[in-house]
A and B are shown apart, each in its own frame.
Chain A
Amino acid sequence: MPEPLLRVRGVRKLFPIKAAGWRTHAQRVVHAVDDVNFDLGAGEALALVGESGCGKSTLALTLLGLEPLTAGSIRFEGQELAGAPPEVWRLARRHIQMIFQDPYESLNPLMTVGEIVAEPLQVHKLATATEERRRRIMAALDDAGLKPAQHFMRRFPHELSGGQRQRVAIAAALVLEPRLLVADEPVSMLDVSIRAEILNLLADLKVRRQIAVLFITHDLGTVSAIADRIAVMYLGRIVEIGAVNDVLTTPQHPYTQALLSVVPAPNPRLRRQHIILQGETPDPVNLPAGCRFHPRCPVAIARCHQVDPVLQAVGAGHAVACIRTTELRTNTL
């Protein structure tokens, strides 16, 4: 099997937290990302889905080396990035670009759109000829749907709408012609009315430019427009991963089922009964023993309090981390 574009193994990111009292000697940690494994092929889009605080952003930041890993391995195009020297990261960042959640905060208010989009070229000392640089900036703005491009070059971010700002961020990511785009909830801060446009733009770029996309979202409803595969994340770990179709039509993990049950289904015949999860999200500091989902799981049994399940294949490319998967499936069939 050829090496995928991105290969993530056992990635772990723990944030130590300051002890509240001077007597507590035990170092407490936030398990933001806790043993994550997945592959992402060239030109493929993987949606990473999970509720707020499950570690999606932290995972994205570790993939770009913006948060140092606690443990694990990240290979990009066969090159190990975990613990790699700055030069290796620098080169990797030419090919991995990120779009942040908040387009109001992620653009420098004192820089024009032209300067913002030129920045990656400047930082990597690419397209140093004025004419070529200008051409690449215009092309990127154009590809991001900011037309006519020269109309936007001299604008400041505050003169643009949220959607336009996110397009500027996309243009700045595109200008380096990356192979992987990490989009961290790119539409969650935008008006509902313009979300679809931005999602379509990303989907279109993925197809036209063959860019692999790691699309992070807390909203399962936005997934199918872009993604080929879905990874569902719960408390720092992937609990189910598979092709979009498989996961959306035959979700195996009780958490995925709960998430899906409350997504307004476009097709009323497919509507399921709402599964309301009991309890609160356990905090990532004091993880429950056994399966980390068991306190909220509607089908948890005694063994779930002890066994920490690992991802196991349930179909072609479809894997689930739940000890009851096979048993429950045979029951319903």
Chain B
Amino acid sequence: MMEQATGGYRGVWRRLRRNPMGMIGLAMLVTAIGVALLAPWLSPYDPNAIIRVTILDIYQSPSPAHWLGTDDAGRDVLTNFLYGARVSLTVGFFASFIAVSIGGLLGLSAGFLGGRTEGVLMRFTDIMLVIPDLPLAVVIVALTKPSLTNIILVIGLLGWTGTARLVRAQTMSVKQRKFVLRARAVGAGNRYIMHRHIFPLVLPLMVVNTVLVISLAILNESTLSFLGLGDPATLSWGQMLNYAFTRGAMSAGAWWALIPPGFGIVWVVLACTLLGQGLEQALNPRLLTHHLAADRTLTSHRRLQPAPTSEGATPGNR
């Protein structure tokens, strides 16, 4: 029976574990987070150490002393790479937290309240959706001080539209379900229903969405940094790429200055995408889609049907 699949969030983890792609994504993301957290212990050098450089230290190729060579300032690329994970993931997590919070709040309100509120909120979302994010982000970051906080805010404040639409659709479909009607019949008010019946069924979708938005935020941060709009005080992967491109890594043939940050970005984005898709599949389809409205779609009122079994046969084949 199909209903067997529902029930609690525990089932989601059980089904995710059986999804190889999802588990690979999860492992990759955990690795990235581990690297970011353990950067001080994994790094061979102190990233902030003031070092004396000679022309010979610049763009050194990989060697036992510098496994991934050195960059344009003669610093160790491996160290930069490991610390860069911290910046990229920080931006990814905080920006997506902001984006999903805003999108979730708007989507839940619009979907649940309906009517005028919904019209206004969704019109606003549509406007935000058609404005291209990146050029706007470039303009805003260029006009404000390019600090890490500003980048997080800009990415978060511009990246919620997709979440808002998704959450609204899910909220509307949960709202239609009969157990919400039953809660109303019992006497529950809007706040109780939202908190107890709607939100718990929308939350899984928001989790999936967060994971996907993290990868978008990391990509956006890399793009902004690559365009020279990153925080000059921190070295994210995007910033590493930016310096490599603008400071002659290409002409020096220093591939080691380009590949690690590029690899890091691809790694995290791929991890989030795989995990997000795995979670999506692991979430019960019955949580995500409206159960067939048996009352109006399955029974036709065009028939006179006093036969006792005419409606009774449904439980078996639903």
Contacts and interface: CB of A to CB of B under 8 A. Distances in A.
Contacts, number: 143
Contacts of B189: 90, 123
B15 interface: no
Interface stretch (B16-24, B143-151, B251-259, B301-309): B301-309
A162 interface: yes
Interface string A148-164: 00000000111100100
B135 interface: no
A119 to B, nearest CB: 6
Interface string B1-17: 00111111100000000
A104 B307 contact: no
B64 interface: no
Chain A contact residues: over half helix, strand or loop, or mixed? loop
B291 interface: yes
Interface string B185-214: 111110010001100110000000000000
A110 B303 CA distance: 37
B308 A221 contact: yes
A263 B305 CA distance: 10
Contact of B181 (A66, A218, A277): A66
B304 A51 contact: yes
A101 B186 CA distance: 15
B123 interface: no
Contacts of A192: 308-309, 312
Nearest to B311: A188
A258 B304 contact: yes
A100 B182 CA distance: 8
B308 A190 contact: no
B311 A218 contact: yes
Interface string A194-227: 0100000000000000000000001111100000
B277 to A, nearest CB: 23
Contacts of A120: 186-187
B301 A51 contact: yes
A105 B306 contact: no
B4 A51 contact: no
A13 to B, nearest CB: 15
B11 to A, nearest CB: 9
Contacts of B300: 52-53
A156 B178 contact: no
A51 B7 CA distance: 34
B295 A98 contact: no
Interface in B266-318: 284, 286-287, 291, 294-295, 299-309, 311-312, 314-316, 318
Contacts of A222: 308
A178 B59 CA distance: 81
Contacts of A93: 185-187
B179 A107 contact: yes
Contacts of A238: none
14 contacts: A52-B299, A52-B300, A52-B301, A98-B185, A100-B181, A102-B295, A105-B177, A108-B196, A123-B188, A158-B6, A172-B182, A189-B312, A218-B306, A219-B306
Interface of B: 3-9, 177-179, 181-189, 192, 196-197, 200-201, 284, 286-287, 291, 294-295, 299-309, 311-312, 314-316, 318
Given A90-B187, A189-B294, 14 more contacts: A51-B305, A52-B300, A52-B305, A93-B186, A109-B287, A110-B201, A120-B186, A120-B187, A123-B188, A156-B7, A188-B311, A189-B315, A195-B312, A222-B308
